[in-house]
Structure 1
Amino acid sequence: MNEDDEMPYKLAGRVVALTGSTGGLGRALATELRARGARLALLDLDPDAVAKQVLSLDGGGDVWGSHVDVRSWATVQQAIDAAAAHFGGIDIVIANAGIAIASPMEKLAPEAFDRVIDINLNGVWRTFKAGLPHVQQRRGYLMAISSMAAFVHSPLQAHYTGSKAGVWAMCDSIRLEVRRLGVGVGTVHPTFFATAMMDEVLADPAGVKIWGGNSGGLWKMVPLDDVVAGIVNGIRHRQDLIVIPRQNTLPAKAPGLFRRILERIGFRDTEIASAIALAGDGRTRP
């Protein structure tokens, strides 16, 4: 199913695993999903914050939480597997954990670059990798929170734009691999919106200089509620691409204008399945 299908994907009773659950977007999204009857596995780096969030949503056995560090494959796999065991399966995985900083290449410490890439890009891959065996059983949906930065590449953010463009491209590739399994894959591309992360951007003179304080023009912030509503609609219709606000859809879709045509011609499901059967696990061979 994708954005062209007529029947929405019901959220009531679905099991949703959400990383970065205690951040601004994660918290708002968890609240809305719970209000729609979803059962939640809340996953975050701060175990105390997760525990409080579970209590705040008062879901009994329908809301469960765990510590996760998306930079660690072991913790991601353990948490996802534990969530599946608790609920008896998982329908939807949302890779939401992410960070942002503004710094030019000449000043950015190499370890800071590595950290952004490891959380924003590698963390999505780890989350999807751990979630796929469970989501596959229910012909469910994988969603990654990317950004308009995947398409609009601003200065002082090579690390961030690279990670978010990587998420978009990676999800396009994964979608081709799993569509034969009945699994959908979507990426979310919001513009700036109000969260604690944006508070840090607005407190950074470099960020204010580049984006003009995000008070108007191209970089004006949109309400958090609009982002949550767009994400929920994207889940309900198992969309490939969710752009918020919608008026940014044209610049977002332009880079992939011919992608679907090329995919249909160049990558057939039977060929993909055969290639997957032949592929190794990526470890370096002696």
Structure 2
Amino acid sequence: MTGFTGKVALVTGGASGIGAEVARRLRARGARLVLIDIDVVPLRELAAELGGDEQIVAVSADVCDLAAMEAAVARGIERFGGIDIVLANAGISSYGSVLAVDPVAFRRVIDVNLVGCFHTVRAALPSVIERRGYVLIVSSVGAYLAMPGVAPYDASKAGVEQFANALRLEVAHRGVDVGSAHMSWIDTSLVRETRIDLPAAAQAIAAMPRPLNKTISVQQCGAAFERGIERRSRRINVPAWVGALRWLRPVLQLPLVERIAGRTTPALLPEMDAQVAGLGRSFSARTQALGEDQERR
């Protein structure tokens, strides 16, 4: 008997990265899973790895589509009886400054990261309330500390932090706990692809003072999420020092960040925008392909 035996966890963005790592950890401790992702092939592979149809409901769905999310949740409830844990993890980022980013890409980031989070919670919340469960909203260190070149990502992650805070107030009296997760640089495909596509972005990260520029493994992040979900934590910070940024936000966001950014942004941001223009896209190739594939369906 383990800590998650008998529990049902819904994970969006569950086919890879942090979502897949947390899914593996929860499944190893007895949870049954409802995995949702638009990337069909790795989703199916992970479902097979973790126990197939007996233990996993795998649904290819776009979190931007509320009806699709409601249908996915309904499949999970029909199979397993309800939802105890929600990990609203699906997220993307875009390339380019406010002047350079494709406006369509800007809107897509907000739709996936913020509106998709709402759709996920809205669809699953009645069952979570019934089972007095736990919701974890994946935000970012970007909610505490904005950076140039990723305005839509930072805006969306600040938005989901406040969404989590408001949701917590709404459902606490119903026995539901709500947390938000805030990570620095995690070794996911999103971070790796950005560094490959945009050398100027990699330079900007490297120029940040330690430990702000250190990359954390997906496994370390997954372990922190596992502990936080088990404890029904209000906040999960990965690594732990990220939590200090929340309290230091007024200082960091103004004098210190502006001083650091002032040394690198004038040269590196135009260079990054030029690299975005050279790519001809405001997303990584993988994110672009997944979005185009979803539009064709």
Deviations 1:209-229 (A, max 9, x none): 321288954211012221111
Q: Does 1:78 align with 2:53?
A: no
Aligned to 1:125: 118
Aligned to 1:225: 219
Q: Does 1:207 align with 2:201?
A: yes
| Cα distance in 2, alignment partners of residues 37 and 161 from structure 1 | 35
| Cα distance in 2, alignment partners of residues 124 and 142 from structure 1 | 11
* Pairwise CA distance, 1:206: 3.2
Aligned to 1:180: 173
Pairing of 1:60-79 with structure 2 (within 5 A):
60-79=53-72
| Cα distance in 2, alignment partners of residues 215 and 193 from structure 1 | 17
Q: Does 1:33 align with 2:56?
A: no
Structure number with the higher helix fraction is 2
| Cα distance in 2, alignment partners of residues 32 and 118 from structure 1 | 28
Change in CA separation of 1:37 and 1:240 when aligned onto 2, cut-off 3 Å: same
Give the 3-state SS of the residue equivalent to 2:215 in structure 1: coil
Aligned to 1:151: 144
Deviations 1:111-164 (A, max 9, x none): 110000000111101100001011011000111111111101000111000000
| Cα distance in 2, alignment partners of residues 88 and 35 from structure 1 | 20
Asked whether the equivalents of residues 147 and 154 of structure 2 are also in contact (C-alpha less than 8 Å), the reply is yes
Q: Does 1:92 align with 2:77?
A: no
Q: Provide the alpha-carbon RMSD of the alignment.
A: 1.9
Asked whether the equivalents of residues 243 and 252 of structure 1 are also in contact (C-alpha less than 8 Å), the reply is no
Q: Does 1:109 align with 2:94?
A: no
Deviates more, 1:144-153 or 1:211-220: 211-220
Aligned residue among 152, 155, 160 for 1:162 = 155
User: Structure 1: which 5+ runs fail to align?
Assistant: 1-8, 257-286
Aligned to 1:243: 237
Change in CA separation of 1:233 and 1:72 when aligned onto 2, cut-off 3 Å: same
Aligned to 2:41: 48
Opposite residue 240 of structure 2, the aligned amino acid is R
Opposite residue 29 of structure 1, the aligned amino acid is V
**What TM-score, normalized to structure 2?**
0.79
Off by >3 Å, runs of 4+ in structure 1: 213-217, 253-256
* Pairwise CA distance, 1:10: 3.0
User: What's the % identity of the aligned pairs?
Assistant: 35
| Cα distance in 1, alignment partners of residues 96 and 19 from structure 2 | 25
Deviations 1:86-122 (A, max 9, x none): 1011100111100112310010111110000000111
Change in CA separation of 1:71 and 1:217 when aligned onto 2, cut-off 3 Å: same
Asked whether the equivalents of residues 215 and 221 of structure 1 are also in contact (C-alpha less than 8 Å), the reply is no
Asked whether the equivalents of residues 85 and 128 of structure 2 are also in contact (C-alpha less than 8 Å), the reply is yes
| Cα distance in 2, alignment partners of residues 172 and 233 from structure 1 | 20
Give the 3-state SS of the residue equivalent to 1:84 in structure 2: helix
Asked whether the equivalents of residues 208 and 214 of structure 1 are also in contact (C-alpha less than 8 Å), the reply is no
| Cα distance in 1, alignment partners of residues 106 and 210 from structure 2 | 29
Opposite residue 151 of structure 1, the aligned amino acid is Y
Aligned residue among 128, 137, 143 for 1:135 = 128
Asked whether the equivalents of residues 18 and 93 of structure 1 are also in contact (C-alpha less than 8 Å), the reply is yes
The alignment of Structure 1 onto Structure 2 pairs a total of residues equal to 248
Deviations 1:239-281 (A, max 9, x none): 111111112222124559xxxxxxxxxxxxxxxxxxxxxxxxx
Opposite residue 109 of structure 2, the aligned amino acid is V
* Pairwise CA distance, 1:48: 3.2
User: Structure 2: which 5+ runs fail to align?
Assistant: 251-297
* Pairwise CA distance, 1:47: 2.9
Aligned residue among 246, 255, 260 for 1:252 = 246
* Pairwise CA distance, 1:14: 0.7
* Pairwise CA distance, 1:49: 2.8
